[in-house]
Structure 1
Amino acid sequence: MDFLKSGLKTVLGAPEPGQQPSGADTVERLVERVNNSTLLEDRRDACRALKAMSRKYRVEVGAQGMHTLQQCLELDRADNETINYCLDTLNNIMSPTQFEEEEENPNVPMNIGEQFTEMFIKNHQNIQLVLDLLDEYDFRVRFSAVQLLTSLLTNRTKDIQEIILVKPMGVSKMMDLLADTREVIRNETLLLLIKLTKGNANIQKIVAFENAFDRLFEIVSSEGYSDGGIIVEDCLLLMLNLLKNNSSNINFFKEGSFIQKMLPMFNTPDEEEVGWSPQKVSNVHCMLQIVRTLVSPSNSAQIISSCQKIMKNCGLLDSLCNILMASGVPADILTETINAVGEGVRGEAAAQRALGAVLAPSNPPRPAIVVLLMSMVNEKQPFSLRCAVLYCFQCYLYHNETSQASLVQTLLPSSTDVSSLTSGQLLCGGLFSSDVLSNWFSSVALMHALIDNNAQKEQLLRVLLATNIGSSPVSLLHQCTVLLQQSTKLQSKVALLMLLSQWMSNCPPAVSAFLRAPGAVGYLVTQTCSNEHDENEYLLQGMSAFLLAICIHFNDDSVDNYSKDSLKQLLVKRIGMETFSAKLSEVSRHEAYSRAAKHPQLKVKAASDILIDYEFCKLFKGLESVLIQSLTVVQTNGDTEEDTESLAQYKSLIRQQDARLHELLQQLAAETQRGHKLQAALTDATSENSRLKDENTLLKAQLSTAASIQPAPSVDANIQLEYQQKVSALTDEVNRLSAVNHAANEELARTKKDQDDLLELLADQDSKLNEYKMRLLSLGQPVEEDLPTEAEQSLA
């Protein structure tokens, strides 16, 4: 500290007796010395002093010295030491974190670094200056330039990405630093590139085609693959950024034979002796995420299939299966490996066969699939692990009739050895377990064996279960129906409804077997008619209505008491078509449905959140409109005079509503145009307001600096007065623009309210039109589609 004080004395000169200069005073004098000194040494010393003060007096240095520091970067380019001081000072000014020296100062805003960043990047040439400095080989300059770019990206990621994207060779300059032999610079560049590539597909492509994957694998190899340090993790995080949601880079990765280069990452010999360090866990976890990114179900089918084939052929799938069956593997790595194996075989028959042939190192050896299912139905296993096993098993069955048939076969009577536990037996045990999660997992797993496979649906009808000693065995479907009626747990009910819906859709024999079960139809009608007002109860009512509709639509009239027509009449009399349609629509409105429909993998935070499966969402979406259309076709023997009069009234009302709809649409269009104009005016005013606020901030800082300086000949009262006048004028202008903004905001709010009111009216009109249509349909009359069609097209 004494050295710093003596250095400041050298630069500024000793203060007059009895006077102690303030921080703002010192900063101002240093900035003035940088601006006015003709000797390079003096400017360098002043820059060094500014750097020393920039942590404690960040606001003062930033407000008064930012422009001067920018000029130094341009004019003193030949002096590396001065440039280094400038870069470090700017980095301190725009640091995204708070310094210890600032913690006691309540006047420093938490986001001050972001505010200064916004001012710095308004002139895009400033970014170009920093990018050009990456060409300097001097360690201090290059390292400080990388750190400054990292801080800028942290504060204003999207803005900096867009600026760098249009700068010539901007990305190339950064990529060249990965080849720097000085590891500190290389490592800092990795952090910079991770921030640069996040969420920007264009930059991701440029980085990938700058040989990023080659360079990253070279670093990973030199660092020792999965046994390496945090640098390996940084390289893998950068790879992940480049590949996630970027099909172009995935193709480039695949065609460049980089999948094969991942293999050494999963060579984990004798882990019981070596162990898994926390860093190794992180490294392998990152690599597993890369594997999953390549074969994610969100990719195109062509990309997934080709990546899966390469993984199987190069031995990567085998390495993953080895980790799956190894002992001593950490739980989170085992969970992610199970997920990765599942997506590695999903829909790829050869890979699915390979997984089915894997044996666990037990005595006697058991299929890996059976060992995994034992974990799934074991309530003592971690929840995330059980979810991963279900997903892997679903992937194993996906679009594979052979593996689906194999599972069902394990439930049928067989002459083979019955002493060994089978996958089917495990699922039946879980289905009838007292553990609710085992019920849900087992029901969903069985459901996936029946998807798009009517042959196995009929085969599963042959499965018989022994219930009590001496009693006749009952069918699996019959027992599921009994369980559905007896269960008191929400998750068990939902799981059984999903299983039965999948089983009975497109399978009349299964529908007939269900209809013969005592109380089955009565239960569905009672559930659908229930008036419980709870979100989950609404879901149960809707799923019951869905299963009841399946019983009607896929009914082959083989059960005398429950023919298709008699069930339709029962539905109309006991429930009513309007109520039935409303109940059915509740399924897709449920939050669990929306969450499950997004991705094949079950993604929930807690066990209590498990309700609906992805494949059930697909089934429901595909059948909902078909079932409603089927049920609304009601046979009539002719219209009465009263019916005819009602029809005429309905048609007249439809025409009136259609005319009103047109009128409302025209009003909405006019209000929308008006809203756009107001929004444009508001945007212009906001932009001008922001510019004036920046100028105001700088002038206020300069004024506070001038005011804090002790009275001395160097302070001119006129200058101070001029500052005050400028600040006052700018404050008045800012207040004026703020008032204009507030006028504009109120007008925009009124316009938006008018638009919302119009939209509510339109929705009401549309609802009434649909209601009239349904009434016409229920009376057996054709609906004149041309009446609402024109309005609907206008609305669209």
Structure 2
Amino acid sequence: VVEKYLHIVLCLLKNNASSQSYFYQKSNIQHLLDVFELGSISKKDCSIQNMIIRALVSPKNRKENIVACQRIIYQCGLLHGIWNMLTIPTIPAQIIIEVLLNTVGDVVRDNIENQAFVNSVVNTSGAIQESTLFNLLYAMICDEEKSFSLQISILYFLQCYLHKNKIGKSIIIQTLSPQTKNAANQHTMDYFLRSGYLSKDIVASWCSGILLSYLVVNSPKSKEDILKAPSLCHTRVAVLIFICTLLSNSSPSVQALVSIENGIAYIISQIRDQSMEDDRELLIQSLCAFALGLYVICNNNKIPSCSSESIKQIIEEDIGINLFQ
């Protein structure tokens, strides 16, 4: 009976602004907390109730409904209850994959108060190796038994958690700072992200690149901090996305990258290559063209050989304007 009732509630809440408003205004969100009592955890019930929570905070909803529901979910202790489930060893992995990470991600997305809660619990021990972020990065990148669905769920949670979250970004970026005695340490978030780039596992490489791009997007301070880290290895699409994000509105980033030997030459060679027929290669070519455009727009012209005018001249005379039309 309860399960059927929950399914009806879920159907009423999906994409229905008036039902969502009525649901939280009548204090019904608080009743969802009961399922997170340790004695009442089951995959079926937990999945349905988390689907209801996600329906209340879906990005498709009205902004005012999302904000109100996110606030109530935090204030009534529901977010704390969901988070506690992530730390219970006996919880089936499938529940974590399908339910918990995605639900927490939606609840904290673009919400300073809820992100602050996660900031306070991701590293409560003070030791990075014992933190939740450490464990999630390990599971996403290095765990030999990792599944694709778990990797993507972790990446989605991290994207939501880092969205406009300066403190959350700094927690990870500070691990990328140059290290001396810990340089060979294989148990740091810094090591995980770098090994992700070098990995032959294309999903781990992709996730590492996308996560790094989220660390620096719309954050000049993060871009400056990450430039202090040792050089990152260039991979393909994931790294190009990261580079484009790093270059955007950041003259120091442009200056640092144009100083890399053959960096501009590589990008130009990819743009000029007319033999690309594979969609993935065309995507790489497009990203290289976008990166070159950022070189022009965000260049501080401190390196004469790579000034905006010199790159424009290369585009006009060597590459050809027609290629971009």
TM-score, normalised to structure 2's length?
Answer: 0.91
Q: Distance in 2 between matches of 1:243 and 1:394?
A: 25
The reply to whether residue 551 of structure 1 matches residue 292 of structure 2 is no
Q: Distance in 1 between matches of 2:25 and 2:258?
A: 55
> Which of 254, 257, 260 is equivalent to 1:511?
254
Partner of 1:253: 23
The 1:233–1:361 alpha-carbon spacing in structure 2 relative to 1, beyond 3 Å, is farther
The 1:379–1:570 alpha-carbon spacing in structure 2 relative to 1, beyond 3 Å, is farther
Partner of 2:223: 457
- Is the 1:288–1:340 Cα contact (8 Å) retained in structure 2? yes
The reply to whether residue 390 of structure 1 matches residue 155 of structure 2 is yes
Partner of 2:311: 567
> Which of 165, 186, 204 is equivalent to 1:400?
165
> Which of 100, 109, 115 is equivalent to 1:337?
100
- Is the 2:220–2:250 Cα contact (8 Å) retained in structure 1? yes
Q: Secondary structure at the match of 2:176?
A: coil
Structure 1 residue 288, shift from structure 2 partner: 0.8
Written as runs of structure 1 = structure 2, the 5 A alignment for 1:350-369 is: 350-358=113-121, 366-369=130-133
Gaps in structure 1 of 5+ consecutive residues: 1-230, 465-475, 485-492, 582-796
Q: Distance in 2 between matches of 1:423 and 1:251?
A: 41
Q: Secondary structure at the match of 1:326?
A: coil
Q: Distance in 2 between matches of 1:408 and 1:303?
A: 33
Give the structure, 1 or 2, with the largest relative contact order (CA under 8 Å, sep 6 or more): 2
Q: Secondary structure at the match of 1:557?
A: coil
Q: Distance in 2 between matches of 1:300 and 1:351?
A: 18
Q: Distance in 1 between matches of 2:65 and 2:217?
A: 24
Partner of 1:170: none
Partner of 1:436: 202
Partner of 1:641: none
Identity within the alignment, %: 31
- Is the 1:356–1:368 Cα contact (8 Å) retained in structure 2? no
- Is the 2:47–2:95 Cα contact (8 Å) retained in structure 1? yes
Q: Distance in 2 between matches of 1:568 and 1:372?
A: 44
Q: Secondary structure at the match of 1:410?
A: helix
Partner of 1:427: 193
Q: Distance in 2 between matches of 1:434 and 1:368?
A: 25
Aligned letter for 2:13?
Answer: L
Aligned letter for 2:305?
Answer: N
Structure 1 residue 399, shift from structure 2 partner: 1.0
- Is the 2:110–2:164 Cα contact (8 Å) retained in structure 1? yes
The 1:417–1:349 alpha-carbon spacing in structure 2 relative to 1, beyond 3 Å, is farther
Q: Distance in 1 between matches of 2:115 and 2:204?
A: 24
The reply to whether residue 304 of structure 1 matches residue 66 of structure 2 is yes
TM-score, normalised to structure 1's length?
Answer: 0.38
The 1:572–1:360 alpha-carbon spacing in structure 2 relative to 1, beyond 3 Å, is closer
- Is the 1:512–1:555 Cα contact (8 Å) retained in structure 2? yes
Partner of 2:134: 370
Q: Distance in 2 between matches of 1:282 and 1:347?
A: 29
Aligned letter for 1:243?
Answer: L
Structure 1 residue 299, shift from structure 2 partner: 2.0
Q: Distance in 1 between matches of 2:173 and 2:124?
A: 25
The 1:436–1:564 alpha-carbon spacing in structure 2 relative to 1, beyond 3 Å, is same
Note the aligned Cα RMSD (angstroms): 2.5
The 1:428–1:372 alpha-carbon spacing in structure 2 relative to 1, beyond 3 Å, is same
Q: Distance in 1 between matches of 2:204 and 2:44?
A: 30
Partner of 2:285: 541
Q: Distance in 2 between matches of 1:504 and 1:451?
A: 10
The reply to whether residue 410 of structure 1 matches residue 175 of structure 2 is yes
Partner of 2:211: 445
Aligned letter for 2:255?
Answer: S
Written as runs of structure 1 = structure 2, the 5 A alignment for 1:634-673 is: none
Larger mean CA deviation between 299-308 and 565-574 belongs to: 299-308
The 1:379–1:552 alpha-carbon spacing in structure 2 relative to 1, beyond 3 Å, is farther
Structure 1 residue 560, shift from structure 2 partner: 2.1
The reply to whether residue 242 of structure 1 matches residue 36 of structure 2 is no
Structure 1 residue 359, shift from structure 2 partner: 5.5
- Is the 1:447–1:499 Cα contact (8 Å) retained in structure 2? yes
Q: Distance in 2 between matches of 1:323 and 1:374?
A: 19
> Which of 82, 87, 93 is equivalent to 1:320?
82
Written as runs of structure 1 = structure 2, the 5 A alignment for 1:478-627 is: 479-480=232-233, 483-484=234-235, 493-531=236-274, 532-581=276-325
The 1:421–1:530 alpha-carbon spacing in structure 2 relative to 1, beyond 3 Å, is same
The 1:300–1:422 alpha-carbon spacing in structure 2 relative to 1, beyond 3 Å, is farther
Q: Which has the larger radius of gyration?
A: 1
Q: Distance in 1 between matches of 2:145 and 2:180?
A: 33
Structure 1 residue 414, shift from structure 2 partner: 6.8
Partner of 1:381: 146
Structure 1 residue 302, shift from structure 2 partner: 2.4
Structure 1 residue 235, shift from structure 2 partner: 1.3
The 1:538–1:420 alpha-carbon spacing in structure 2 relative to 1, beyond 3 Å, is closer
Structure 1 residue 343, shift from structure 2 partner: 1.1
Gaps in structure 2 of 5+ consecutive residues: none
CA deviation digits over 1:298-348, x for unaligned, max 9? 223322222112111111111111111111222221111111011111122
The 1:508–1:361 alpha-carbon spacing in structure 2 relative to 1, beyond 3 Å, is closer
Q: Distance in 1 between matches of 2:310 and 2:122?
A: 53
Structure 1 residue 395, shift from structure 2 partner: 1.0
Aligned length: 320
Aligned letter for 2:44?
Answer: S
The 1:497–1:413 alpha-carbon spacing in structure 2 relative to 1, beyond 3 Å, is closer
Aligned letter for 1:508?
Answer: S
- Is the 1:242–1:249 Cα contact (8 Å) retained in structure 2? yes
Structure 1 residue 352, shift from structure 2 partner: 1.3
- Is the 1:342–1:392 Cα contact (8 Å) retained in structure 2? yes
The 1:304–1:417 alpha-carbon spacing in structure 2 relative to 1, beyond 3 Å, is farther
Q: Distance in 2 between matches of 1:435 and 1:327?
A: 27
Aligned letter for 2:223?
Answer: K
Q: Distance in 2 between matches of 1:337 and 1:233?
A: 19
